[in-house]
């Protein structure tokens, strides 16, 4: 077995080279999957998924990850790029749940006998758009078709909009079985909140954080965004101070990507109020400096965690994984995703459900899995996925480990890519240490650029894909 002579110690400080970041900044994938979702094809059919499930069954029982997408929100936040439906008509949720339960039943029957779930995540939209009674019924239905691991083993998380819940609702969510909670905050500054149509009083959010602690949630995560209209270094610094004082277990800080031609709600944002590229870079530097100074570990991309959090521990132990929910501790789990637009990862396939409610409902009404597109990975896809996963999660790559897993000579197979990495080596972003390709502290912020070197699809696609900037 290959032994690393280099340790991508997550506690090490980040080397923030602003000039280099400006020079290398470009559009690129976030690699929540490889191949990325824009490579999925309508040629992928439900029977391809059934074949993948049969292959998984042959491999024997292993834990599953289950994702449930609830697309509804009370109001629209102007920055949002999620697949959501803003409506106050609660009857739409009741209709949706009827179809969602049928999809869960179909998936449950497919995985009968190998249906042990150790990770469950409710995302959206706003999952707490559902009432307590609706959530009770939905969870009971899930437990009817899947076996959920005990609370001390399973990770059961839900995304919460603090504006939509009370401390009592948080208590109820814990009673219902959730043990991890993620809170959307974005920014505590009232002026910024007004500019993005998300008025969220600070004390209201802090009360929900405290309620989650009182209820016994094992992990509390906060989401922030930098680059929003009316943000500046002072307002960001004040928000960071409040977040650090709240002491969540994890913090995600996302770069706002202004793509109004893709996401209609963003057309309501006053572009003249957006901070410039240099100001955004200064905000990112401030976030990294303040959070690492407060003891948070930089996991990668836009994620930070306390040293004792399971995410940081998984990275230290080489168990960290990246999927459609971001970083995960369950590297070996097939992911079953239910709901409109949800993406599954089963065996050597990815598949995405229909993106509109009408199409989703129609497919389920016909007794079909509501998959619109997907992909079956080739051997080349699998090799490159392993390479990109290693770089994205652990900032290092063992060439011999790839050779042990796949029938290739790494240096021959990736001769062109190794040549392209030489420029990154010259810039001080990577270094070659015997068998290992190691991302330096300076390179960690540009990990997407480095991973893109191994993305075969980027060099074979003539038209530019619509991605956010890499940093």
Q: Which residues are annotated as a binding site for [4Fe-4S] cluster?
A: 73, 77, 80
Residues 6+ apart with CB under 8 A from 411: 399, 418
Task: Enter the tokens of residue 254.
Answer: 């996302």
Crossing angle of helices 91-110 and 357-365, rounded to 10°: 50
| Cα–Cα distance, 128 to 387 (Å, whole number) | 37
SS3 call for 398: strand
Written as one string, the DSSP assignment of 187-240 is ---HHHHHHTT----HHHHHHHHHHHHHHT-SEEEEEEEES-TT--HHHHHHHH
Annotated binding-site ranges: 67, 73, 77, 79-81, 124-126, 159, 186, 198, 223, 257, 343
Q: Position of tokens 């079985």?
A: 177
Annotated binding-site ranges for S-adenosyl-L-methionine: 67, 79-81, 124-126, 159, 186, 198, 223, 257, 343
Cβ neighbourhood burial of 89 (10 Å; 0-12, 13-18, 19+): exposed
Tell me how far the alpha carbon of residue 188 is from its chain's centroid: 23
Print burial letters for 10-40: b (CB count within 10 Å at least 16), e (below 16): beeeeebbeebbeebeeebbbbbbbbbeebb
| Cα–Cα distance, 378 to 389 (Å, whole number) | 16
- The residues that bridge with 343 in the sheet, in sequence order, are 352
Q: Is the peptide bond before 35 cis (omega within 30 degrees of 0)?
A: yes
| Cα–Cα distance, 5 to 72 (Å, whole number) | 49
396-398 β-sheet, strand order = 396-398, 436-439, 430-433
| Cα–Cα distance, 440 to 15 (Å, whole number) | 8
Asked if residues 215 and 170 have their Cβ atoms less than 8 Å apart, the reply is: yes
């Amino acid at each position: 077995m290959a032994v690393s002579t280099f340790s991508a110690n997550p506690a090490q400080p980040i080397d923030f080279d602003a000039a280099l970041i400006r020079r290398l900044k470009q559009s690129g994938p976030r690699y929540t999957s490889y191949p990325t979702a824009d490579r999925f094809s309508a040629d992928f059919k439900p029977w391809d998924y059934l074949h993948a499930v049969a292959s998984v069954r042959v491999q024997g029982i292993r834990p599953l990850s289950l994702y449930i997408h609830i697309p509804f929100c009370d109001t629209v936040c102007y920055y949002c790029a999620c697949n959501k439906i803003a409506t106050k008509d609660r009857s739409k949720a009741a209709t949706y749940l009827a179809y969602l339960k049928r999809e869960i039943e179909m998936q449950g029957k497919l995985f009968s006998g190998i249906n042990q779930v150790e990770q469950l995540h409710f995302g959206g939209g706003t999952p707490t758009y559902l009432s307590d009674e609706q959530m009770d019924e939905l969870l009971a239905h899930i437990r009817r078709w899947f076996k959920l691991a005990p609370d001390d083993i399973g990770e059961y998380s839900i995304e919460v909009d603090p504006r939509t819940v009370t401390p009592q609702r948080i208590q109820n969510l814990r009673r219902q079985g959730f043990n991890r909670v993620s809170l959307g905050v974005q920014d505590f500054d009232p002026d910024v909140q007004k500019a993005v149509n998300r008025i969220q009083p600070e004390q209201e959010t802090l009360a929900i954080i405290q309620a989650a602690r009182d209820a016994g949630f094992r992990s509390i995560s906060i989401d922030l965004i930098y680059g929003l209209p009316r943000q500046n270094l002072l307002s960001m610094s004040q928000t960071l101070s409040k977040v650090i004082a709240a002491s969540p277990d994890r913090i995600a800080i996302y770069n706002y990507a202004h793509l109004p031609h893709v996401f209609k709600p963003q057309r309501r944002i006053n572009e003249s109020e957006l901070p410039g590229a240099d100001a955004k870079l200064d905000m990112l530097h401030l976030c990294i400096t303040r959070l690492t100074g407060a003891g948070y570990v930089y996991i990668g991309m836009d994620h930070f965690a306390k040293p004792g959090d399971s995410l940081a521990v998984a990275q230290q132990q080489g168990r960290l994984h990246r999927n459609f929910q971001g970083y995960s501790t369950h590297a070996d789990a097939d992911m079953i995703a239910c709901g409109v637009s949800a993406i599954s990862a089963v065996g050597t396939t990815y598949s995405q459900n229909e993106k509109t409610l009408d199409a989703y409902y129609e497919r389920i009404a016909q007794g079909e899995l509501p998959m619109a597109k997907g992909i079956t990975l080739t051997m080349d896809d699998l090799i490159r996925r392993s390479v990109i996963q290693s770089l994205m999660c652990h900032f290092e790559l063992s060439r011999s480990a790839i050779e042990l897993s796949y029938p290739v000579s790494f240096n021959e197979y990736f001769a062109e890519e190794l040549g392209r990495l030489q420029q990154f080596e010259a810039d001080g972003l990577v270094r070659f240490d015997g068998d290992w390709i190691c991302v330096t502290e300076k390179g960690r912020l540009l990990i997407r650029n480095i991973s893109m070197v191994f993305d075969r699809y980027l060099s074979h696609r003539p038209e530019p894909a619509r991605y956010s900037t890499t940093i």
